[in-house]
Structure 1
């Protein structure tokens, strides 16, 4: 009997140790090389299809470009890199001095590009599923900034995008719900195979049915079936509908299956902590405004998002309170991180994580219709609280004639 117990304990410990290694093997970053041209320098990073990157961060004194890859582990001659491992690739051309790599976290690989220029432009793209391409070029002129200013004037004057505060009570208030992922993009997948795209679509539909019963509310979904949408297209739909609120609904995931709880995000240029960065990395895909350079994109983002920063924060706090109270799940609070799906929304915008699909216990709850209804009711409670606070409309039951 004792021998059998010892064997079982050994197998249990073996599986605990083996799982992370197997998981990390799927996210190995191997060959990193560069090509020098007269007009630019190109860095090619061979990766797996699952590995993505956070929006790049520009640093000065000296001039550097910082990119975090997630989930990713550097593959060296000795095997998978340990946390803290560093190495450098010397370049020394007209655009780049060197590329430095650091295994910042067991699933985050930090890439720092030491630049030879103080004024530059860059582009990041996934030309193939298994490679990330970074192009560094010289500076462009300021013509794109005029394009952005003109675009913002059109946004401000457009009747299709109403003010955050309608002039009178009773005016129709448009809420755009965005069920994350869809189609070929399943999102996170739980231990038993539950897909994020299916859970969030069901929750969004339940929430929409509740909102339709409220007077003065008009609700729209970016997708009503299992189909793929590019991230920029989701806020584009919301803007075209003239939405007053944009809410992207997701199910969370983490390397540790013990992670639990609900949290609500607002957009920010940088993540406030590593956990927020991991969530943003998982939800993001590389996305840029078409035909607009890096400088113009940054200016456009700053000007649009600054206008709605306060409203987005108030909205997030109300939703987070309603969601945590209705579900009874751990309240992880309101956080800030860079989300491509929120960028470009000409209205208050939030991203809601309704629970950890990677946690077996929470995954089992997310499967159940009654729990999904609790999630929808919690979000509705938060929305009503937000709307009543800013005195936009009075959400009272419609009196029977």
Structure 2
């Protein structure tokens, strides 16, 4: 009855409830260093705030929600280093000023938009326009003084005829081929994951390109840092890659891009130190991966991982979200070693294969590999944490797409001791069934190559091409340890599943060139838990009991491996 008499009051209460719920999720994210590692957690918070603004545009909480959505987009950018995330933050801040010009947050939002455009997006003209608008349109606001100083500092970038209101931030654009270069490869973006002991840089391209990689030692007398540079031939320059991206994390100073001549784009990594580096291409889509290892003494084995992508910004708690490692270390469990010793097993990364726009294999009844791998990965993570008391990080915790090279980069960045990727097998022969476990190496037979091609999303020819570059990448791939881990997991899987199910076939331990394992600095395996293409095993893959049994078996395999190698620490 009250709702019928006072509908506005009910809607207002709902708006407040929705806002406080979104704000609670935001606070929870801010309080958890671990949650901040996952894009989906940021996206959920952003979507929550935007839903408040969309559903209750006239409520007093609408501008607050938009402003915090912009802050969350900016926080995500500080982790992802994705240009698109920074642009979305600018766009959301602009909305605050455009849609709620009388709100006290309007000038704050314009100032933050200007700072992002200036520092992150390297667009001083658009930054100037935001500062100008904040100084003139909101001259009585608390940000007017700072906006005026920033405008004066960028006065040299003022447009001859400034637009009013200033134009929206430019959308991410793919590089256009230069005149006369029809079909030329373009740069589509650049991503990186970095800490004092490890850096992975991924250069995204529209097609394959010839490249050369070179290393130049530093010259302390001249103050020149060591650097790696990669020249890409026949590639068009693009606004998708900034001229300079500052990192300054202890290993990588900055990433620069330039054009030494008309037909070449050069990517330069300025470093503090280096012990080794590798450069290799991946296909579908085309990208070039640059892996850099720091000198001894700065590696993650010697210190806690720095969970940050950039130095914190002054006066902004969001910008420094990854400045600190987790407040407390995960507890350790003392487990006797059969060889009379104890060592540490502190952090494991569990990877749920496929996800988002990549469904993986599809079963005869329509079951998707990406769904069953996520369910099993969650189960495995819980059991590993319970069994060993270590920290377990999921590369994805919901249905989102994650590039294969990003999964291993996550494990390298957090200093994982083990990397376990969960998959479901598939074959054209619907009668094929069984369990097998892989580690990174050259494929010894056509079946292993076929599995690698399917999991990589490539052709058999591209698998062959990948094996050619593996010769230069295998030295640090932990082959022996990965082989032992795969053997223990495979044995445990067959033993346990055979006790609970009929028709369990041991397909053994195999090796192959898997993108998802490439560049891992810790023992890493890929587990094919069953054939989703087989009716009987597809049914099992949807059963939570099968998930539990599979997880228990993997945990046993990890325990046997860790005990044998004295990896589990005493308290």
Residue 227 of structure 1 aligns to a residue whose secondary structure is: coil
Partner of 1:226: 399
Partner of 2:565: 390
Taking the aligned partners of 2:536 and 2:361, their CA distance within structure 1 comes to 15
Structure-2 change in CA distance of 1:363 and 1:298 (3 Å): closer
Deviations 1:221-278 (A, max 9, x none): 111111110011001111111100011110000110011100000111x311011011
Residue number among 298, 317, 339 corresponding to 1:158 in the alignment? 298
Taking the aligned partners of 2:412 and 2:561, their CA distance within structure 1 comes to 21
Taking the aligned partners of 1:279 and 1:126, their CA distance within structure 2 comes to 26
Taking the aligned partners of 1:312 and 1:213, their CA distance within structure 2 comes to 23
Correspondences of 1:330-341 after superposition (within 5 Å): 330-341=505-516
2:485 aligned with 1:315, yes or no?
yes
Query: Which is bigger in relative contact order (C-alpha 8 A, separation at least 6)?
Result: 1
Taking the aligned partners of 1:352 and 1:156, their CA distance within structure 2 comes to 32
Q: Which runs of 5+ in 2 are unaligned?
A: 1-180, 185-203, 218-226, 229-273, 278-291, 304-340, 459-465, 499-503
2:348 aligned with 1:175, yes or no?
yes
Correspondences of 1:29-68 after superposition (within 5 Å): none
Partner of 2:527: 352
Q: Which runs of 5+ in 1 are unaligned?
A: 1-38, 43-124, 128-132, 287-293
Structure-2 change in CA distance of 1:172 and 1:331 (3 Å): closer
2:344–2:569 contact (8 Å) kept in structure 1: no
1:174–1:217 contact (8 Å) kept in structure 2: yes
More strand by share: 1
Taking the aligned partners of 2:213 and 2:547, their CA distance within structure 1 comes to 51
Taking the aligned partners of 1:236 and 1:353, their CA distance within structure 2 comes to 21
Structure-2 change in CA distance of 1:208 and 1:254 (3 Å): same
Deviation at 1:141, TM superposition (A): 6.7
Residue 334 of structure 1 aligns to a residue whose secondary structure is: strand
Residue 212 of structure 1 aligns to a residue whose secondary structure is: helix
Structure-2 change in CA distance of 1:298 and 1:368 (3 Å): closer
* TM-score computed with the length of structure 1 as normaliser: 0.57
Deviation at 1:218, TM superposition (A): 1.8
Structure-2 change in CA distance of 1:331 and 1:205 (3 Å): same
Residue 408 of structure 2 aligns to a residue whose secondary structure is: helix
Partner of 1:325: 495
Taking the aligned partners of 1:178 and 1:199, their CA distance within structure 2 comes to 12
Taking the aligned partners of 1:170 and 1:262, their CA distance within structure 2 comes to 30
Deviation at 1:351, TM superposition (A): 0.5
Deviations 1:336-389 (A, max 9, x none): 110000001111111000000000110011111111111111111111110111
Deviations 1:186-230 (A, max 9, x none): 100100010101101111111111111124422111111111100
Structure-2 change in CA distance of 1:155 and 1:381 (3 Å): farther
Deviation at 1:140, TM superposition (A): 4.0
Partner of 1:280: 452
Residue number among 211, 215, 231 corresponding to 2:384 in the alignment? 211
Structure-2 change in CA distance of 1:313 and 1:223 (3 Å): same
Aligned residue pairs: how many? 256
1:170–1:216 contact (8 Å) kept in structure 2: no
Residue number among 521, 544, 553 corresponding to 1:378 in the alignment? 553
Structure-2 change in CA distance of 1:391 and 1:172 (3 Å): closer
Residue 228 of structure 1 aligns to a residue whose secondary structure is: coil
1:231–1:285 contact (8 Å) kept in structure 2: no
Partner of 2:328: none
Taking the aligned partners of 1:243 and 1:162, their CA distance within structure 2 comes to 13
1:172–1:216 contact (8 Å) kept in structure 2: no
CA RMSD of aligned residues (A): 3.4
